Amino acid sequence: MMDIINWLNKPYPFIDKILNKLLISGLFGLFVFIFLSLFQPFGITEIVDNKSVYLLGFGFVTSLAMIISYILLPLLLPKLFDSNYWCIKKELIFILSNIFFITILNYEYYVIFDYDLTTEHSLIFFGLITASVGIFPVTFMVFIREMYLTSKSKKNALELSSLIEQKVKKVPENETITINTDTKADMLKLNLQDLLYIKSEDNYCKLYFKENNQVQNKLLRILLKNIEDQLKDYPEILRCHRSYIVNKNHILKISGNARSYVIHFALCKDTAFVSRNFPKEMLI
């Protein structure tokens, strides 16, 4: 049981590119059309005229439901669909919810355009058929994809960590930097090499830095983009994620999972995420 729970809590990537969402929605609608054409459940065999057009409607409704789930819902509920905290459990719940939503829309389509079918089916029957068609292959796909992505990320992360360990680190000049905030009276002045990383928290940023051999942090009212612009002339300071800026001189190692790469620091147990599109060689 614990193995199943641990697997369900494993990180998993949420599809974030619009083009990929549209492609998956379209392909899933095509799959529904092909499945119904081949197996013809719900009394479809009784239809003589315009059968292909009728079945194509189920595919269109399915694609529409998935577009709403994959594109509209994340826009309305961004915190719920935060890709940084997406896991297998959330993915499977999302898939089940999506199947339920597809069932309702397809049932409404079935009721409205029933083509005078002699056999009427209930919403529950519709749901059972839809779930039986989708849930098992989708769960298997999630399982295989998680294994593949985790294996690939771990291998790449080990290679990056090895290169980081082998790199001869130069001792940089201890230059003082000043981070000006949206409030003129509030600013932070520190040595550049004492800065560990910066994390975005809505309209604020929390800066983590070394002071008196201890890791301290300070919350400033400023956007991460503003700090990025202020520190753009320092090559060791990298924005590796939409929510993180790191000082690569303090990177201890890189780890990987199915969702992303994770930075581990030498001076603390904290971690930072790395965007999937970020060039990983820049961390070395």
CATH number at residue 253: 2.40.50.1020
Q: Are 155 and 181 within one domain?
A: no
Q: Are 33 and 114 within one domain?
A: yes
Average pLDDT over every residue of 149-169: 79
Q: Are 204 and 89 within one domain?
A: no
Give the residue from 161, 195, 221 where a domain finishes.
Answer: 161
Q: Are 181 and 148 within one domain?
A: no
Does residue 120 carry a pLDDT above 70?
no
Between 166 and 119, the higher pLDDT residue = 166
Q: Are 141 and 45 within one domain?
A: yes
Give the residue from 91, 126, 161 where a domain finishes.
Answer: 161
What are 61-79's pLDDT values in tens digits?
989 999 999 999 998 988 8
Whole-number mean pLDDT of the chain?
A: 83
Of the listed ranges 61-65, 114-118, 268-272, the one predicted with least confidence: 114-118
Q: Are 81 and 222 within one domain?
A: no
Does residue 83 carry a pLDDT above 90?
no
Cβ contacts of 247-250, under 8 Å, gap ≥ 24: 247/192, 247/193, 247/195, 247/196, 247/197, 248/282, 248/283, 248/284, 249/169, 249/172, 249/193, 250/196, 250/197
Q: Which residues span the domain enclosing 105? A: 2-161
Residue with tokens 């930097």: 177
The predicted pLDDT at position 91 comes to 87
Q: Are 37 and 119 within one domain?
A: yes
Alpha-carbon distance 159 to 262, whole Å? Answer: 14
Alpha-carbon distance 209 to 174, whole Å? Answer: 14
Q: Are 33 and 138 within one domain?
A: yes
Which run of H or E residues covers position 28?
Answer: helix 18-39
Task: Give the pLDDT band (50/70/90) at residue 117.
Answer: low
Average pLDDT over every residue of 238-259: 90
What's the number of domains the chain is made of?
Answer: 2
Task: Give the pLDDT band (50/70/90) at residue 240.
Answer: very high
pTM of the full structure? 0.68
Q: Are 118 and 143 within one domain?
A: yes
The predicted pLDDT at position 20 comes to 85
Cβ neighbors of 156 (< 8 A, separation 6 or more) are 256, 261, 280
Does residue 45 carry a pLDDT above 80?
no
Does residue 199 carry a pLDDT above 60?
yes
